[in-house]
Amino acid sequence: MSAGPFALVDASNFYVSCERVFRPSLNGIPVVVLSSNDGCAIARSNEAKALGIKMGAPWFEIKHFAESAGLVALSANFTLYGDMSDRMMSLAAGLGPAQEIYSIDESFIGLDGVRGDLTDRARKVRNRILVWTGIPCGIGIGPTKTLAKLANYISKTAERKPGSYPAELAQVCNLGTLSKEDLDALLAATAVGEVWGVGRRIAEQLEEGGIRTVLELARLDPATVRRRWSVVLERTVRELQGMSCVQMEDVPAPKKEIAYTRSFGRLVTDLEPLLEAVSEYASRAAEKLRKQGSVAGNVLVFAHTSPYRPGPKYHRSVVVPLRRPSADTAAIVHAATAGIQQIYQPGFDLIKAGVMLLDLAPDHRMQGELDLEDDGAAVAERGRLMKVMDGLNNRYGKGTVHVASSGFDDAHRAWRMRQERRTPHYTTNILDIPIARA
DNA sequence: TCTGGGGTCCTAGGACCC
DNA sequence: TCTGGGGTCCTAGGACCC
């Protein structure tokens, strides 16, 4: 187990930065990356933020900036971002002995036992990531994970908005080297809503109580916070006070649930396309399940109408238990389609459906293990089939082999998502590799 | 016309049991 | 008329994160 201090290495505008590596013409102009169906902005360049574009802003509301301000929008290219993430993470790991990959673009580094000037070391790592991958990051260092997160926020804000914080905190901010007075001044200059664990709701409640800055939150009595709010916020207050309560988790815990949910490219009303979509989602979820080496006990399937559109509302889900815990695509697809038929009602314009696998457990059944169940041989046979299927799809691309119930005719599969602005898979597909011309 | 997806944890309340 | 107390398990919903 690693005790503090901790660093948080977090890429700046990660998805946009990935796109810029391969299209330098995007530098210096406002860029957003859109969610699936090109629905809303999930990443923004600094120039886009300066236009006032908020996280999650629907594309149709910000589209006008394309004309007026040269805004460029791209469809999310998660294959590219995942690969760039791997490269960035392996370089960030050089900062200290322990690494917890917290999300696609950020990792905590345990700095316990690291000698020398941490700030200087972090600057070198930041530079290496920038030069070797092209991705700019901010690095925050502090005695607890919550303070490292806060330091990271300061490092990025100091760079993006000159004058907001002392300029020397830009890019790398080490709270551990500051005097008590300087640290308090920083906390007093930061809004309470920027703290890790304080969302919109709790920020509102705190502000109503006159707690507006991080410093004011840090000075609350933890026991009072626990009584009035929760153990979670109490822990956050203690962390702000410098007491480390959240440990590093170097080995990722297996997921407790696995989901595959999507909005449709077009509204779906009939059962037939709904069944196709649910079959496909269930297959994808089953693939993720096998990749983790787990089996599921229950399958949840849901569908709903758009919360934004007028008209009759529908929102239903059902949990279908599997006869025995399984990772077999056929069993999971069967449960999901049975469930959707059970809750389906005609006459609703559905916008989204999803499949969630619940009650996950490790798949202990080794290949060739003697299975005393009556149909043990059949189960083992299915396991081999799944391996072959995953192998083919890995090698020749997603969906090369799929269950018949998810449909064959792409023209009719209108429920599939739209993605009209996707860039090539520069780093993972040989056909998409950029070519430099002399 | 057009509004993402995938997770975790905590808590309150109900069902059930002794 | 009168109607305990405590524990566990499960679920739904809320809040948070990226």
**pLDDT at position A173 over 90:** yes
For A1, residues 6+ apart whose C-beta sits below 8 A from its C-beta are A247, A248
Considering any atom of strand B, list protein residues whose CB lies within 7 Å.
Answer: A 35-37, 39-40, 42, 55-56, 58-60, 230-232, 253, 255-263, 267, 288, 306, 308-309, 351-352, 354, 356, 417
| Distance between CA atoms of residues A323 and A362, nearest Å | 17
What value, to the nearest 5°, has the Cα angle with vertex A82 and ends A87 and A423? Answer: 110
User: What phi and psi values does residue A331 have, to the nearest 5 degrees?
Assistant: -65, -40
| Distance between CA atoms of residues A221 and A233, nearest Å | 11
Q: Are residues A190 and A320 in the same domain?
A: no
pLDDT at A9 (0 to 100): 98
A16 compared with A428, residue with greater pLDDT: A16
Q: Are residues A282 and A235 in the same domain?
A: no
Domain boundary among A210, A240, A270: A240
The enclosing domain of A47 has a CATH number of: 3.40.1170.60
Q: Are residues A120 and A221 in the same domain?
A: yes
For residue A150, give its domain range.
Answer: 6-12+80-240
Q: What is the pLDDT of residues A24-62, one digit of tens each?
A: 999 999 999 999 999 999 999 999 999 999 999 999 999
Q: What is the pLDDT of residues A342-367, one digit of tens each?
A: 999 999 999 999 999 999 999 987 54
Q: Are residues A222 and A102 in the same domain?
A: yes
Q: Which nucleotides of B are covered by protein (CB under 7 A)?
A: 1-11
Name the token pair of A348. 């609703």
Domain boundary among A53, A78, A103: A78
For A27, residues 6+ apart whose C-beta sits below 8 A from its C-beta are A20
What value, to the nearest 5°, has the Cα angle with vertex A378 and ends A372 and A379? Answer: 70
Q: Is the CB of A195 under 7 A from strand C?
A: yes
**pLDDT at position A375 over 90:** no
Shortest-distance nucleotide from A11 CA to C1':
C18
pLDDT at A418 (0 to 100): 79
**pLDDT at position A152 over 90:** yes
**Confidence band for A368, pLDDT divided at 50, 70 and 90:** very low
**pLDDT at position A370 over 60:** no
pLDDT mean across residues, chain A = 92
Question: What is the percentage of chain A residues whose pLDDT exceeds 70?
Answer: 95
| Distance between CA atoms of residues A243 and A256, nearest Å | 29
Least confident of A1-5, A120-124, A277-281: A1-5
Q: Region A324-333: what's the mean pLDDT? A: 95
Q: Are residues A86 and A225 in the same domain?
A: yes
Q: Are residues A84 and A231 in the same domain?
A: yes
Q: Are residues A122 and A26 in the same domain?
A: no
Residue A431 lies in a domain: no
Q: Report the predicted TM-score, pTM, of the whole model to 2 decimal places.
A: 0.93
The enclosing domain of A354 has a CATH number of: 3.30.1490.100
For A370, residues 6+ apart whose C-beta sits below 8 A from its C-beta are A376
Residue A210 lies in a domain: yes
Q: Is the CB of A230 under 7 A from strand C?
A: no
Q: Are residues A43 and A162 in the same domain?
A: no
List helix spans (H) across A134-230: 145-160, 180-188, 200-208, 214-218, 222-228
Q: How large is the C-alpha radius of gyration of chain A?
A: 25
Number of domains in chain A: 3
Residue A247 lies in a domain: no
Q: Are residues A84 and A171 in the same domain?
A: yes
Q: Are residues A230 and A147 in the same domain?
A: yes
Residue A250 lies in a domain: no
Name the token pair of A226. 């626990």
Q: Is the CB of A198 under 7 A from strand C?
A: yes
pLDDT at A372 (0 to 100): 54
Q: Are residues A146 and A159 in the same domain?
A: yes
Q: Are residues A218 and A125 in the same domain?
A: yes
Residue A20 lies in a domain: yes
Residue A342 lies in a domain: yes
